[in-house]
Structure 1
Amino acid sequence: MQRNVLHSSLLSAAFSIIFQVFCRVITFAINAFIVRNVGRDVLGIMNVRLLLLESTLLFLSREAFNRAGLSATTQKNDKCSWAQLINQMWLTAPTCVVICIPCVYIWLHLLSPVEDQFSLQYQFGCYSMAISCVIELCAEAPNFVSQVFCFVRLRIVLSTLHILVRSVVFLWIVINDKSAAINAFAIAQLMSTATIILGNYGFFYFYIRRFNQEKEKKERYAKLDSTMYNDMKDFPFKKITDFLPGVMENQGKYLNSELQILTLSFVKQGVLKQILTEGEKYVMSISPVLSFSEQATYDVVNNLGSLAARFIFRPIEDSSYFFFTQTIARDVELYKQKRENVLQAAKVLENLSLAVTSIGLLALTFGQSYSHTLLTLYGGADFAAGGLPEKLLQWHCLAIYFLAINGITEGYMFATNTNRDIDKYNYLMAIFSISFLILSYILTSCLGPVGFIFANCINMFCRICYSTCFIFRQYKPTGLNPLQGLLPGKWFAMTVLITGIFCKYSAHYSTPQLVHITYGFLSIVSCLIVWVIENSELVRLGWRYGRRIKTD
């Protein structure tokens, strides 16, 4: 299929950002409803314990297979067929079943216990999460195909339906019976999984059917024009059953050995990355450092503090990873690759680094002045009272800045390094993971929930140092330095500093809330105007791609 990879990556990022905003708005509204009407203990069980189980199962079962499959589609050869890739994706479901057995046992019997009044609901929730993950992974094959062939709107529509169904079912049950909130959460998760299965297979059933009809017309009336016929052959699936394992015609072995080796490398890396990503939740779940109410407070603050990461950084990281895997070959040094591709990758990396770093700098600066205001608007005055939520959110803004840099630099490194480099980095990730867990426990015991943020910042700083060194060494022979994007423009930095001090002064002297918010809005607008002027060339480039996305 003829694709513009950069355009598809930008389109995916744009729709993903919109979806993340939509998803977070619904999630925040539900969490606020739970905090005000059900209780923080229930929120802690659902958002920390049960969602951690779901995240663990899906990440460990899917991430390595997906990343290895995407890398295989980059290679312009026939070493790995589509039949082998489909078989590879179907390994995720049995892998999830195997992982479910020890995980569910650990969640039920070894982690810190829940209160007796919630024990039965919690047990049902654990089983429901495991079953929903297995069901969801049964649609991994068509989901992977939609990713490779850039069916961006399909992925966004199905994700939106998944969130809507889960939210509607949950609220419908809880409004009628607040005491069954955990059961409602589990039932909603199971029912929403059906949208993933039915949506993926239903779309491709009708897509392939229409594709075959159009193919027959073109073959009949174009007299088998070779160019047109080759274009039609680009989509390799001829019937919906081709998405099932072992059905599609395969000239080679059932599975590709090279792909399995790469998958194993990503498996080791994925385990360590999951620990680093959800490390604080594992520490909270394993040790009685914080109560469920305190866990819920930390989770709410963490979600608020991660707005930029979830709305912008993660979609950009995912889309840029896809772009870099399709542009840069892993096993060939940059100066030996096509110069045009290397220049494009370097420019994209530099521009993305500049954009996310600037966003992180804004969050770090204005988060110090508006944490209390945001918490009061979200959870009420009682939730913001005591100073701990505000302190957590202020320090979390520092973590946002590190997240901005780490996401793009580490994402590029994972997308372009070789199997040997991946294995080498796995050992370092093991050190990072163990150090992070130990540091989290020690700092949390001394400083409370703030210790999680300090440990996370230290860990991300170490990872940033490694990934930036990798990028610098990789591009040095080419004479390019995309890491320049990590340094914001001097006029933008000065504007952020001046307006940040002004807003902090306003917060310190208890300016009326509406006036204080107005100051912040005007300050951010001023910073953005300066950024646009200072990076006018990048803005014009983004505008042109934005118009193409709108047209498509």
Structure 2
Amino acid sequence: MAGEKAGAREAGVLVSSFLHLMISQLATRVISFLLNVLIDRRLNAAEIGLSAVQFPLITTTIFMISREGFRRGCIRSDLGDNPHQSAAARVVSVAWLSVPVGLLVTCATVGTILWWQQLPVADVRTQALLVLGVAAGVELLSEPLYILAQCLLLLRVRVVIETLATLGKSLVTYALLLQGIGKAGGLVFAYAQLTYALVLLVGYWGYFLSRARRRETTGASVPLLPSRPKGGPLLDPSLLRVCGAFSWQSVEKLALAEGEKFVLVLSGSQHNQGVYGIVEKLGSLVVRSVLQPFEESAFTMFSKAASSANKKDDDAQKPDVRGVERVLLLAIKGVSLLGLVFVAFGPPYSYTLLRLLYGRDKSDSEAPTALACYCLYVMVMALNGITESFLHATASERGLAWNNVALVVFSVCHVALSVALVQARGTTGLILANVCNMTLRITYSMVFILRYFKGSPTFSIRRAVPSIRVIGTFIAAALTAHWAEVTFLDHDRFYTSAATYIMVGGACFVGVLGAIYTAERSFFSEIASLRRGSSASIGDAATGVGVVDGDKKRT
């Protein structure tokens, strides 16, 4: 029962932390998104491509190579609520390696771009790249404290700091554009990124320094700088190996996650980059506000729950995985329901959304078709985020090594498919290549999950699948929305016809919500009980209550 109770505690933290992250990030992203819409109305396709594709690709390259492995590896360490100084020192010392590694990667990345493009020193694009490099260096200085905050489950601290940073970045961008400052060469976007980095630096260091002063008298302060744990080396060899495995994997994931952008920058037109930038900004509102915090919270909690499950019960010789099993199945079902909403309503309403936000010039382009495909991409991203987080949190070093091999194969296939589909279908082809890539990764993770729970008598992936009634309602809603688009929507009389069309979609959405509520009541009961940290809810797993009971009620 110890594993079940631990799983309940971790699940409760998962739900609570995810809700805090989601609500805060959703509010922040909505405000930032509205500001970005105002910003994009002032930009042409080439400038949108620069701000949404080229510059983010540079920063993502730097951070995924330099810090992602340290994040994954260090967060797997279980510090608990009141960590010993030696345990915290072990994590902090290794986390600080991300700073020099990141600075080297930053210099190499910026230098390579300047050499590749043969830009003169006085060119405004050179200045923008240098400011972007400085911003990356500043952000890296806050990385060890970000890792420490995640290990200590200080998720509200992260929410506040990242909220302020994101809002500051958007406000600086809009203010500079209004004043006409730095638009040439994308300098305005580099200044905005520097603002974001400075807020992170001040926020994390300010919090932990004030926390250290409060705890100095009790002797419970956590080290913020590298220090040698008692009786151990400065850098823990086992933790370094795990971080190294994740770092190598991050390089492969960079090609997988951002390979399409490399293809787009190298072989796509500026128009395609602009279209992709618009579509990704719309999609990222969901990805970064809902899916990303959920994935990060899930990885943290899977790591803690698996660590608890691996501790032997008094009356058992095998790890009790029922707690982590329950968390995983609920998470998969949750993102599946969210993904179905986008698959059902996204394609028929893509044109309407783009027309309302960006005007007819952008909605009459390839963007609606690309956005419709992106809605399918959102669903597979959601499923991959949860399944891959579980793999990374629970796999052994050997399992991670095999995952790295698989990612290399997927990366090669992804890049080759992206090149072919970009030439054939432009931005839409690029998104379809991403869908294929995510499907391969989901398949690999699901094979791992099935093997992990092979000995569990209660595990069944069917428990994570929405009921037949819910799926049927989604299909009916999607068909109705497509019919309404053909019947009511008139591009020349857009605003009058769109009102009727949107009302039909709203009625369909209400019907879907009703079907989910009636057919998946046990799912919502599980979420509510886990949020309260109720250990009794996990104990029901063996008797068929909750998600299992949901299977019995399906029609």
2:14 aligned with 1:33: no
Distance 1:311 1:485, change over 3 A: farther
Deviation string 1:464-499 (CA, Å, 9 cap, x unpaired) is 111111111111111232522442201111111112
1:531 alignment partner AA: I
Verify: 1:210 aligned to 2:214, yes or no: yes
Q: Residue 98 of structure 1 corresponds to which residue in structure 2?
A: 104
Per-residue CA deviations over 1:423-453 (Å, capped at 9, x if unaligned) read: 1111110011111111101111112111111
Query: Which amino acid letter does the alignment assign opposite residue 243 of structure 1?
Result: L
Matches within 5 A, 1:11-26: 11-26=16-31
In the alignment, structure 1 residue 453 sits paired with structure 2 residue 424: no
Q: How does 1:460-475 map to 2 (within 5 A)?
A: 460-475=438-453
Are the aligned partners of 1:165 and 1:192 in contact in 2 as well (CA < 8 Å)? yes
Of stretches 60-69 and 34-43 in structure 1, the one that deviates more from structure 2 is 34-43
Shift of 1:349: 0.9
- Any residues of structure 2 matched to 1:162-181 within 5 Å, and which? 162-177=165-180, 180=183
1:269-288 matches, cutoff 5 A:
269-285=249-265, 287-288=266-267
Q: What is the correspondence of 1:165-314 to structure 2 with a 5 Å cutoff? A: 165-177=168-180, 180=183, 182-213=186-217, 215=218, 235-237=220-222, 242-246=223-227, 250-285=230-265, 287-291=266-270, 293-314=271-292
Shift of 1:545: 5.0
- After superposition, the Cα gap between the structure-2 partners of 1:337 and 1:311, relative to the gap in structure 1 and judged at 3 Å, is farther
TM-score, normalisation: structure 1? 0.87
User: Secondary structure at the residue paired with 1:478?
Assistant: coil
Question: Measured at CA, do residues 473 and 547 of structure 1 come closer, stay the same or move farther in structure 2, by a change above 3 Å?
Answer: closer
Corresponding residue number in structure 2 for 1:85: 91
Cα distance in 1 for residues equivalent to 2:250 and 2:309? 21
Q: Is contact 2:132-2:194 (8 Å) kept?
A: yes
Contact 1:83/1:250, CA 8 A, preserved across alignment: no
Name the CA shift for 1:302/1:397 in 2 (closer, same or farther; >3 Å).
same
Cα distance, 1:43–1:338 mapped onto 2, change above 3 Å: same
User: Matched residues in 2 for 1:34 and 1:171: separation?
Assistant: 6
Alignment partners' CA distance in 2, 1:212 and 1:499: 59
Q: Which amino acid letter does the alignment assign opposite residue 224 of structure 2?
A: F
Superposition map of 1:427-438 within 5 A? 427-438=405-416
Alignment RMSD: 2.8
Tell me if structure 2 keeps the 8 A contact 1:353–1:485.
Answer: no
Unaligned runs of 5+ in 2: 1-5, 490-496, 535-555
1:60 to partner: Cα distance? 1.5
* 1:376 matched to 2:379: no
Secondary structure of the equivalent of 1:449? Answer: helix
Q: Distance between the aligned counterparts of 2:509 and 2:318, measured in 1?
A: 41
CA distance in 2, matches of 1:351, 1:545: 10
Distance 1:422 1:122 in 2: 40
What residue in structure 1 maps to residue 332 of structure 2? 353
Answer with 125-134 or 478-487: which moved more: 478-487
Corresponding residue of 1:7: 12
Q: 1:74–1:329: 8 Å Cα contact kept in structure 2? A: no
1:542 lines up with 2:527 in the alignment: yes
Deviation at 1:256, TM superposition (A): 0.7
1:493 is matched with 471
> Structure 1 counterpart of 2:183, which letter?
A
- Give 2:380's match in structure 1, choosing from 394, 398, 402: 402
Deviation of 1:275 after TM superposition, in Å, equals 1.4
1:228 corresponds to which residue? Answer: none
CA contact (8 A) 2:264 2:272 kept: no
After superposition, the Cα gap between the structure-2 partners of 1:288 and 1:6, relative to the gap in structure 1 and judged at 3 Å, is: same
Farther-moved stretch of structure 1 (188-197 vs 57-66)? 188-197
* Counterpart-to-counterpart distance in 1, 2:275 and 2:262: 16
Q: Deviations over 1:234-279 (max 9, x none)?
A: x452xxxx31223x65431110111111111111111111211111
The 3 A distance-change label for structure 1 pair 149 and 179 is: closer
What is the match of residue 485 of structure 2? 507
Cα distance in 2 for partners of 1:83, 1:354 equals: 38
The range that moved more, 393-402 or 540-549, is 540-549
Q: CA deviation at 1:209?
A: 2.2
Tell me, in whole angstroms, the C-alpha distance in 2 between the residues paired with 1:299 and 1:492: 33
Deviation at residue 384 of structure 1 after TM alignment: 0.3
SS in 1 for 2:488: coil
Select 1:362's aligned residue among 337, 341, 354.
341
Distance in 1 (alpha carbons) for counterparts of 2:69 and 2:110: 21
Find out whether 1:109 has 2:78 as its counterpart. no
TM-score by length of 2: 0.86
Which has the larger displacement, 424-433 or 183-192? 183-192
Q: Is the 8 A contact 2:9 2:533 kept in 1?
A: no
Tell me if the contact between 2:329 and 2:464 (Cα under 8 Å) persists in the aligned partners.
Answer: yes
Distance across 2 between alignment mates of 1:510 and 1:107: 49
| Alpha carbons 1:104, 1:127 under 8 Å: kept | yes
- Cα distance in 2 for partners of 1:266, 1:505 equals 47
**Structure 1 residues 295 and 150, CA gap change in structure 2 (3 angstroms):** same
Map residues 101-180 of structure 1 onto 2, 5 A cutoff: 101-110=107-116, 120-177=123-180, 180=183
Supply the distance in 1 between the matched residues of 2:293 and 2:284 (Cα, whole angstroms).
13
Equivalent position amino acid for 2:179 in 1: N
Paired with 1:307 and 1:188, the residues of 2 have a C-alpha distance of 18
8 Å contact from structure 2 (residues 49, 276) kept in 1: no
C-alpha separation in 2, matches of 1:280 and 1:205? 41
- Which runs of 5 or more structure 1 residues have no equivalent in the other structure? 216-232
Is 1:520 aligned to residue 524 of structure 2?
no
Whole-angstrom distance in 1 between the partners of 2:309 and 2:516:
37
1:179 CA displacement: 5.8
The answer for the alignment partner of 1:61 in structure 2 is: 66
> 2: distance between equivalents of 1:28 and 1:315?
17
Q: Which amino acid aligns with 1:529?
A: G
Cα separation, 2, equivalents of 1:79 and 1:108: 44
- 1:337 deviates by 4.3
The whole-number CA distance in structure 1 between the counterparts of 2:124 and 2:533 is 49
Is contact 1:324-1:345 (8 Å) kept? yes
Partners of 1:153 and 1:75 in 2: how far apart? Answer: 17
Identity of aligned pairs, percent?
Answer: 25
CA distance in 1, matches of 2:453, 2:178: 57
Q: Counterpart of 1:220?
A: none
- Counterpart Cα distance in 2 of 1:154 and 1:75: 17
Q: Which residue of 1 aligns with 2:52?
A: 47
**Whole-angstrom CA distance in 2 between matches of 1:413 and 1:78:** 28
Aligned equivalents of 2:453 and 2:521: distance in 1? Answer: 26
Distance 1:524 1:212, change over 3 A: same
- Relative contact order: is structure 1 or structure 2 higher (C-alpha 8 Å, sep ≥ 6)? 2
- Residues 522 and 313 of structure 1: is their aligned pair in 2 closer, same or farther, counting only changes over 3 Å? same
Does the C-alpha gap of structure 1 residues 497 and 38 become closer, same or farther in structure 2, counting only changes over 3 Å?
closer
